[in-house]
A and B are shown apart, each in its own frame.
Chain A
Amino acid sequence: MADQMIFAWLAWVFPLLGAVLTPLFAAINKRVRDFMAVAFSFLAVVSTLSLTPLLLEGDVSWPLQSQVSWLNVEGSPILGQIKAGVLVDPLSIIMSNVVSIIAFLIMVYSIEYMKGEEGLTRYWFFMNLFIGNMLLLVLSDNLIQMLFGWEGVGLCSYGLIGFYYKDQRSGWLKYWVGEGDESYPPSHAGMKAFITTRIGDALLFVGAFIILAFTGTLNFVELQNGAITKVPFWALLPAVILLFGGPIGKSAQLPLMEWLPDAMAGPTTVSALIHAATMVKAGVYLVARMFPILYVVTLVSSSPDPQAMFYFIAWIGAITAFVAGAQATVSTEIKKVLAYSTVSQIGYMMLALGVAGLSVEFITGYVASIFHLVSHAMFKAALFLAAGSVIHATGSRFMRDMGGLKKHMPVTFWSMLFASCSLAGVPLVFSGFWSKDMILEASLVSGEYLLFVFGLLTVAITAFYTFRMVGMVFFGEGKSGSSDVGGHVNHLHEASPVMWVPYVVLVAGTIVLGVLGYFARHWMVSLFEYLVIVPSETHPTVVTEYIVAFLSSLAIVVGFIPAYWFYLKRSKPADMYTQRYPFLLKVRNFLYNRCYINRVYYCLIVYPTISLSKWMFSNLEVRVIDGFNYYLGRFTLSFSNWMFFNFESKVVDELNYRVSDLVKRTSLYFRRWQTGSLNDDLIMVLAGLFIIVLILKYLISAG
């Protein structure tokens, strides 16, 4: 076992090394650079796959840990010794494999997709840096080290969203995001992503440091083994809720969700890897990582309050799933549909983790979220890569410029269709069905029926927007007359195999997982059984499973019918209904304006900060503070002037003149006696002598 731990280190060291070496390989030539970049990501796959045999061994005592000393702060009660370490358990093994395998497929796809772009060295550098940081995040055994990866992936996300940093207006159709007054150039979107997630991270810091102040450690294993109980409950609840701020930012949940749709300004490969399959799952991963630790607290504490943190996460997830799904129904850009869909699906995962904490039998919800994470990673990466092929072919990110692509791009069409079925949760043969139903089951079993209803509504919405997208892109007539794209439609053709093989593999994966779904689910439950502390009898019964399957299938049909009607069969345009019913139009506009959440960011945070700073600079800084300093200076000057004229000149100096005047006048008076004649002088001498004699006589008689 111990010999396998080395792979948990190598898994993230290889890609990081690959990233650092990229400029060197680039100096040799372009082919070497591209090949080596992909090779290093392949080494990560090899490393993470080497960990999987552990899952099959029956008698592993999870979690496995391997640590080295990192830095010391001597004499400090908190963070005195920080160790770097890797943590290997089913959660990290599954997650790291998802990351490395999908990343590798996307790296292969990138060779063709990014061919001929400027700044590819930068691209490969950031991609490998991302893979390394993501695996570091996943395999870390403590929060501090995890933050290295956490912030690292954020940095890569920033760098890659803003990959087309020149913001050229001419590339608007492909490289920007949004339209109207909410359209942003890539560099803006990158900055927005970084800063929004950073707001979440600041809250995460607060939460983590509150925990740290009591426990003195942020090592996951130590926390689980009782350190967490040192935190008094009144501090733990706010700490955990603030800690969730990080995942809310990173995983684009409400209210910090709107950066993710704008992150679509990056190359499609980046959207697929970072903003769908892996990085945005980091938040879910962190919550899943903290979950068993926090679940311990609910068992220790007798009051019902501990559940508040799970309610919090469940509701955030449920509402986000619904709101983001609704926004996806009106998006005009193919990648934005997928982005909102990602937000919505991550909402499901959060919901699953939340309801898991609310149930006595947490394993269903917990495994459901991980299962959905895996299956979503596959089908969403496939969808993005296929969408990339479509954008590559049509030269536009807008779905209105697409249509009728079914016959031009059959492989892409079928891949996208199957992946969409998985996203919508079409029963039995698609992995999305099993994982989504497991989440719904968990929320039903937890007894929170309102959460279940939200989940079910989102299923219908998901089906609608998914097939709306498929319909708009692949069905109907080809758009030859689009003003922006021009004649592209005439030479539309299927993407090259280097591009379609990766997404076909992913689609095959989602179908295989779907066919084996029932067994996969039970296998995963058995993997995580070691987490169960208090065994419980209330497994979801087969009846619940059937009820949920029936209801969700019904919801899919409800969502599918209008999508089929408007976008696949296209018997009537959807606009007709929005024109006929003003209420529908209002809803549409509300959703199209991103529920005004994005505007709120700008109007409540961005613009006020900038105008406040400008106002404060010109009024407080320049006028008051520095004004006071200059006033003090001027006051000193004028005071000294006043003193000079009134005191120095009129009093002090006047006195001097008076004194000298007096002396002068006295001397003038005595001058009259200085006649210069000898007689007068002798008289004076005699008079003087006489006076001296008198004084001496007086002194002697007195003495």
Chain B
Amino acid sequence: MIAFSLSQIIFVPIIASILVLLIGRRIGQKVGWLSFATLCYTFILLLIETVNLPNTGFRLTESYPWAPIVGDFALLLDGLSAVAALTITLLSVAISVYQIKYMEKEENLDFYNALYLLYFSGMIGTVLSTNLAIFFLFFELMLIPSWVLIGIWGTGDKVKVAFKYFMFTEVGAVVLLAGIGATYMLTGTFDIFQISGVSSQLPTTILSVVVAMILFGLFVKMAIFPLHTWLPDAHAEAPTPISALLSPAMIGIGGYAAIRILYTAFPVIAFDKNFMYSLLLLSVITMVYGGLMAFAQDDIKRLLAYSSISQMGYMLFGIASSSVIGLSGAFLIYVSHGLSKAALFMISGVFMHDLKTRKISEIKGLASKMPLTAICALVSFLGLAGVPPLIGFWGEIFVFAGAFYASFNPFDTARLVTVVTGVVLSVLTAGYGLWTIRRIFYGEIPDNFSNAHDPEWKMLYPILLMVIIAIIIGIYPRPLTEVISNIVKGFFS
């Protein structure tokens, strides 16, 4: 136990961001290492607390009186938030190294790093908070720095894209806020654990409207069809390190929050067959639609963005299964997608940085010049497709198993048909993945890329790290599944 560890995880980066602004100018390029050090500190803190979780009964809480009505500033680290927070922190640490090289030619790096740290705090805060009002606060904190980051350091039509990103998320956030407000009106509290006691006595129709409002806000973040169109733009035009955080870490938080809020605060809705069936339908549409759209892209980053939409469909597929195994699977998908997609976005950044292009049609035959990059890209795409021994395999197996289990207990034809459709069309993921690999890495290398080579260590090692972790936890996912299922089973007791 370390004093104030959870608050430290959130607030140390915020304080560090001020420090970065103060001394950033003076240390120039080295400012990136400052955010790296800060994030390392939070990562170690988080790791210690996570390893220590079994001794605290899998629940580490911190709570401070904050404001009347709103209630306490309550933070919780349990199996679920630990996994999500560790993923986010790991990605942030890796990407903070990557961006030192990637962003070296950019200006105002002090400002950039300060925003980067704030963005991180926003994400971690959303994951750790259990008070809906504070959750919303961090939800917005997550948005603003990322909006600025896209608007200033982005590419292409960055101002417009940033604006679109902001507007979409804000519309979602407003509906979410309305949902949270309605929850407060109905239950008299913002604390999700207290809500659950009251919510089960309320009429389901009213509750389902409230939950639908909350989910609407989260689904905009998750980019569930048809609320997804901000994502391809934002992911494609954000500076690559930010794309590598937006997609793998941030959008999945929508899914995380959906599990947390739905299953903790509104268990009645979570076991409502019709409501969950509508989520299942949405998830299958999103999976298939995202996969299909990925086939049509020529811009690597845009392709990866659509692939993220598809993967969020898989996550929702697990959420909609109302079963221990499906929910655990949704979490594994979050982790697997985080690792794979972060690696892939960083690889797309390698192309942009070294080859000055990100069009698939302009790249060819790079495997012989960039063998390690090629291997990492292949492994990452296979991770998305759920090929063993990567963690994605377990995610896919679990969400599928959960979905089938739910459609047979009790038996429901419509549900079964939807699930089968989803599972069969999961082939699309392997399809666009391998096709992309083939177009980028195979074939004869054009003359203008004859000097291409694997990137330098600052950009290569973070990519390798993602891949290696995906393999290791794929072979032995036990620590992960144990902490997750330990909490998830509580939803079903």
Contact = CB atoms under 8 A, between A and B. Distances in A.
Interface of A: 70-79, 118, 144, 147-148, 151-152, 154-155, 158, 162, 165-168, 185, 187-188, 191, 194-195, 198-199, 202-203, 205-206, 209-210, 212-214, 235, 609-610, 612-614, 616-618, 621, 625-626, 629, 633
Interface in B384-408: 385, 387-389, 393-394, 397-398, 400-401, 403-405, 407-408
B408 A609 contact: no
Given A191-B438, A209-B400, A76 B427 contact: no
Contacts of B242: none
Interface stretch (B4-12, B108-116, B126-134, B439-447): B439-447
Contacts of A144: 397
Contact of B442 (A167, A202, A613, A626): A167
Nearest to A150: B388
B296 interface: yes
Contacts of B405: 77-78, 209, 212-213
A210 B404 contact: yes
Interface string B319-331: 0000111001000
Interface string B414-453: 0000001001111110110011001001111100000000
A151 B388 CA distance: 6
Interface stretch (B70-78, B186-194, B335-343, B474-482): B474-482
B57 to A, nearest CB: 14
Given A73-B328, A202-B427, A235 B408 contact: yes
Closest 8 CB pairs of A and B: A75-B489, A613-B295, A617-B296, A187-B442, A209-B404, A76-B324, A71-B478, A613-B292
Contacts of A72: 478, 481-482, 485
Given A188-B438, A210-B404, A199 B427 contact: yes
A272 B226 CA distance: 49
A213 B405 CA distance: 5
A205 B324 contact: no
B442 A210 contact: no
B208 interface: no
B442 A76 contact: no
B59 to A, nearest CB: 15
Nearest to B295: A613
B61 interface: no
A173 to B, nearest CB: 17
A79 B431 contact: no
B292 A212 contact: no
A192 B307 CA distance: 20
Contacts of A194: 430, 434
A483 B226 CA distance: 58
B324 A73 contact: yes
A79 B398 contact: yes
B182 interface: no
A75 B79 CA distance: 14
10 contacts: A74-B489, A76-B325, A77-B405, A187-B443, A191-B434, A191-B438, A194-B430, A203-B424, A210-B408, A614-B295
A74 B323 contact: no
Given A74-B489, A158-B434, A629-B229, 15 more contacts: A70-B476, A71-B394, A72-B485, A73-B398, A148-B388, A151-B388, A155-B382, A166-B445, A194-B434, A209-B400, A210-B404, A610-B296, A616-B296, A617-B297, A618-B296
Residue of A79, A166, A168, A194 with most chain B CB atoms under a 10 A cut-off: A79
Contacts, number: 160
Given A72-B478, A73-B328, A202-B426, A167 B295 contact: no
A206 B419 CA distance: 9
Nearest to A152: B388
A212 to B, nearest CB: 6
B478 A609 contact: no
A73 B481 contact: yes
B409 A148 contact: no
Nearest to A74: B485
A609 B476 CA distance: 36
Interface in B459-493: 476-478, 481-482, 485-486, 488-489, 492-493
B368 A166 contact: yes
Nearest to A203: B424
Nearest to B488: A75
Interface residues of B, number: 64
Q: Which one of B368, B405, B444 has the highest number of Cβ atoms from chain A below 10 Å of its Cβ?
A: B405
A144 B474 CA distance: 13
Is chain A's binding surface mostly helix, strand, loop or mixed? helix
A583 to B, nearest CB: 39
A617 B388 CA distance: 31
B293 A151 contact: no
B442 A162 contact: yes
Nearest to A242: B420
Contacts of A78: 323, 325, 401, 405
A656 B131 CA distance: 46
B296 A625 contact: no
Contacts of A609: 292, 295, 428, 431
A198 B433 CA distance: 13
Contacts of B389: 148, 152
Contacts of B397: 79, 144, 147, 205
Contact of A155 (B387, B443, B488): B387
B376 interface: no
B438 A187 contact: yes
Which of A73, A78, A613 has its CB near the most chain B CB atoms (within 10 A)? Answer: A73
B392 to A, nearest CB: 11
B365 interface: yes
B333 interface: no
B279 interface: no
Interface in B351-394: 365, 367-368, 382, 385, 387-389, 393-394
Contacts of B425: 202
Interface string B275-297: 00000000000000100111111
A75 B434 contact: no
A635 to B, nearest CB: 13
Given A167-B444, A195-B430, A621-B229, A75 B485 contact: yes
Contacts of B387: 151, 154-155
A195 B427 contact: yes
Contacts of A118: 368
Nearest to B491: A75
B404 A195 contact: no
A73 B485 contact: yes
A610 B431 CA distance: 10
Contacts of B426: 202, 205
B324 A610 contact: no
Contacts of B444: 166-168
Contacts of A70: 476, 478
A625 B427 contact: no
A187 B442 CA distance: 7
Contact of A76 (B226, B430, B485): B485
A689 B404 CA distance: 93
Contacts of A206: 404, 420, 423-424
A148 B391 CA distance: 12
Interface in B248-281: none
Nearest to A170: B444
